[in-house]
Chains A and B, each alone.
Chain A
Amino acid sequence: MAPVTAERDLRLDLFRGLALWLIFLDHIPSNAVSWITIRNYGFSDATEIFVFISGYTAAFVYGRAMRQNGFIVASARILKRSWQIYVAHVFLFAIYLAEIAYVAHSFDNPLYTEEMGVLDFLRNPDVTIIQALLLKFKPVNMDVLPLYIMLLVGFSPVLWLLLRSPSTALIASAALYALMYKFGWNIPAYPNGVWVFNPFAWQLLFVFGAWCALGGAKRLAAVVSSRITVALAAAYLAFAFFVAMTWYFPRAAALLPHIIADNIYPIDKTNLDILRILHFLSLAVIVVNLVPRDWPVLRSIWCEPAIICGQHSLAIFCLGVFLAFAGHFVFTEVSNRLLTHVIVSIAGIAIMVGAAAVLSWYKNIERGPRPPAARPGFAGGDA
């Protein structure tokens, strides 16, 4: 069996926390502050970070459970976790309904007769709500949790295989990804189309994260720190950066050779385009080399806010979606000035950090003071 590292890697929490902040900033429509987020400077965005780290931590937490308590117990815990996420998703949907109902009530403008049609589903809530409970109707920005639920529901057998033959599991995952591309597999959505985050595609990153957690990272260590890999990663990031700049400066687009443009576009987020995977991997290579596992700053107060957010990722993710709704509400109903964008963005992140601190406090009083390493499945609620 593959070894499971004993101590939690704080870098995971740090970057998952940062990813949650970026997801929040990106989720507020037309947020001026979102120009700082990584999606504007390359192909991948915070979603890749979130899914990869979620896979990593899921394997870390449930891998240990499976080795200690067996397949059934670990599977039961994984399913319980996906149930929690499902409940969180339904909770967010309730908030979304409240927002829609408000907009429907307070909005009338001849410019937007077409757009108002989006509120028509309030006329037949029976169908819509059932479709939402079936995870087929997914409002804007509420696609990540259903993906997460699907990934966890299917995770037990994958984890079982990962613990026995990690390479086989990873190859199977890559094969599923390839088949998805070949045959166009996805899950249908309501009222039309398919899932925005195709689980058959995104599972690859999740399983890769899990594989890294169960010894893969150690195996890759030499490759990741080699100069050639770092140089390739840096070159690819530079290329992606240049391409991203052509999105904002159309004149620069002329410099992008046709043959490249024809081949890279469209960069498909739904099916986790290979260009996005490469971009994420390049970022990961650079970050792993720049931020060592025992970097003292990780334990300093500077990283604490992001780390605690990363440790309560489900709650903070949901809060972020809610805050994005609320932030957009402020933009439309109160003020849409640049200063408002900045204040809303900073306040939102501060609220996320505050909530994470409260959750940590709860966890402590409920569990009693035990050293983190000794806690059974530390942050197990946050795989």
Chain B
Amino acid sequence: MRRRAAVLLALTVLAGPVRADMPAECRVARHLVDDTPRLTGTAAALAAKRLNVLVLGAGSSVLPGKGGENLAYPERLRVALSEEMPGIKVTLATDVTPHRTATAMVESLATDLGKAKPDLLVWQTGTVDAMQGIDPDQFNQALDKGIGIAKAAGADVVLINAQYSPRTESIIALGNYSEIMRWVAAQHEIPLFDRFAVMRLWADLGTFDFFTVTKKLDTAGRVHDCIGRLLAALVAEAAKPEVPPGPGGK
């Protein structure tokens, strides 16, 4: 695992600077967000010089305390997208409430979509379902349903899986739920932002220390900043104008 990570790191470095403005600590995981299915609706929106994003998530999409909202990855994603795509009007709405299962999130999704009218839905889920031991079939169906609703409303979807949380690893059985997310993403041909793999790589490389006992937001803020930037990189990559040009408009 670690050796593979090192090789990949070397490859990333050899591939040259991806973007000058992405800090090195984020960039080491850059290769993990390459090679995703295309986001055609997002590409069309970008061609029209706008991008409306909706982030739907649970507790790992927020940071607690004062300033937490500005440090958490949804806001970092908005900032990174604006930087990465000059000339595009980026707006970002969030529907983020802790302790929600995928099923619970789907319930509020239709309303959210009506309000925010997003081109892109970024959907973070999996952790709460794993913690509560929700029936895997139910989780699978909730994902299918949510993706269906979003697509019907004209939004692309990116899934974000659970965080790598070393201390609770032997208490929360993520395995089944991560696999379901992978399969669902593959079936619907939508990108999965593999947050677990990204954070795992950081842990392996020693980029960030996830073991520290702290109440401070400094490391957490940097982690979320990187997640926001990597997400933005994923979106930019997946919505690049196609060659030959002419992304399928809506």
Q: Which residues of A contact B (CB under 8 A)?
A: 28-30, 32, 35, 99-100, 103, 106-119, 139-141, 189, 191-194, 196, 247, 250-251, 253, 261-262, 265-266, 268-270, 324-325, 328, 331-332, 336-338
Say whether B99 contacts A117, CB under 8 Å: yes
Q: Given A107-B213, A118-B168, A266-B180 in contact, is the A113-B59 Cβ separation under 8 Å?
A: yes
Given contacts A115-B163, A118-B168, A266-B179, 13 further A-B contacts (CB under 8 A): A29-B170, A30-B169, A32-B2, A99-B170, A111-B163, A116-B168, A117-B128, A117-B131, A118-B171, A250-B35, A265-B186, A332-B211, A338-B3
Checking B64, B99, B132, B173 against A110 with a beta-carbon cut-off of 8 angstroms, the contacting residue is B64
Question: Residue B1 at the A interface, CB < 8 A?
Answer: yes
Say whether B167 contacts A251, CB under 8 Å: no
Task: Indicate with 1 or 0, residue by residue over B132-147, a CB within 8 angstroms of chain A CB atoms.
Answer: 1111101010000000
Write the nearest CB–CB distance from A262 to chain B, whole angstroms. Answer: 7
Chain A residues, Cβ within 8 Å of B212:
109
Chain A residues, Cβ within 8 Å of B138:
193
Say whether A325 contacts B35, CB under 8 Å: no
Chain B residues, Cβ within 8 Å of A140:
170-173
Checking A29, A113, A332 against B98 with a beta-carbon cut-off of 8 angstroms, the contacting residue is A113
Checking B3, B131, B215, B219 against A108 with a beta-carbon cut-off of 8 angstroms, the contacting residue is B215
* Beta-carbon nearest neighbor of A184 in chain B: B137
Chain B residues, Cβ within 8 Å of A247:
182
Q: In the complex, which residues 171-191 of chain B have their Cβ closer than 8 Å to any Cβ of chain A?
A: 171-173, 176, 179-180, 182-183, 186-187
Q: Given A106-B213, A140-B171 in contact, is the A30-B200 Cβ separation under 8 Å?
A: yes
Chain A residues, Cβ within 8 Å of B214:
108-110
Chain B residues, Cβ within 8 Å of A189:
133
Question: Residue B250 at the A interface, CB < 8 A?
Answer: no
Say whether A194 contacts B135, CB under 8 Å: yes
Count of chain B residues with a beta carbon within 8 Å of a chain A beta carbon: 54
* Beta-carbon nearest neighbor of B173 in chain A: A140
Say whether B65 contacts A110, CB under 8 Å: yes
Checking B59, B171, B186 against A100 with a beta-carbon cut-off of 8 angstroms, the contacting residue is B171
The interface centre, meaning the residue of A29, A107, A191, A262 with most chain B CB atoms within 10 A of its CB, is A29
Chain B residues, Cβ within 8 Å of A141:
170, 173
* Beta-carbon nearest neighbor of A26 in chain B: B175
Chain A residues, Cβ within 8 Å of B131:
115, 117-118
Write the nearest CB–CB distance from B36 to chain A, whole angstroms. Answer: 9
Chain B residues, Cβ within 8 Å of A32:
1-2
Q: Given A110-B220, A111-B223 in contact, is the A262-B132 Cβ separation under 8 Å?
A: no
Write the nearest CB–CB distance from B14 to chain A, whole angstroms. Answer: 18
* Beta-carbon nearest neighbor of B204 in chain A: A336
Say whether A336 contacts B203, CB under 8 Å: yes
Chain A residues, Cβ within 8 Å of B217:
110
- Give the complex CA separation of A110 and B35 in angstroms: 31
Chain A residues, Cβ within 8 Å of B211:
332
Question: Residue B63 at the A interface, CB < 8 A?
Answer: yes
Q: Given A261-B186, A338-B2 in contact, is the A139-B171 Cβ separation under 8 Å?
A: yes
* Beta-carbon nearest neighbor of B165 in chain A: A115
Checking A103, A250, A270 against B136 with a beta-carbon cut-off of 8 angstroms, the contacting residue is A270
* Beta-carbon nearest neighbor of B179 in chain A: A266
Chain A residues, Cβ within 8 Å of B173:
140-141, 196
Say whether B59 contacts A191, CB under 8 Å: no
Chain B residues, Cβ within 8 Å of A328:
169-170
- Give the complex CA separation of A192 and B133 in angstroms: 6
- Give the complex CA separation of A127 and B65 in angstroms: 32
Question: Residue B109 at the A interface, CB < 8 A?
Answer: no
Q: In the complex, which residues 7-25 of chain B have their Cβ closer than 8 Å to any Cβ of chain A?
A: none
Say whether B169 contacts A269, CB under 8 Å: no
Give 18 CB contacts A-B under 8 Å. Answer: A30-B169, A30-B200, A103-B171, A107-B213, A110-B216, A111-B165, A111-B220, A112-B163, A113-B59, A113-B98, A115-B165, A119-B171, A139-B171, A140-B173, A193-B132, A193-B134, A193-B135, A265-B187
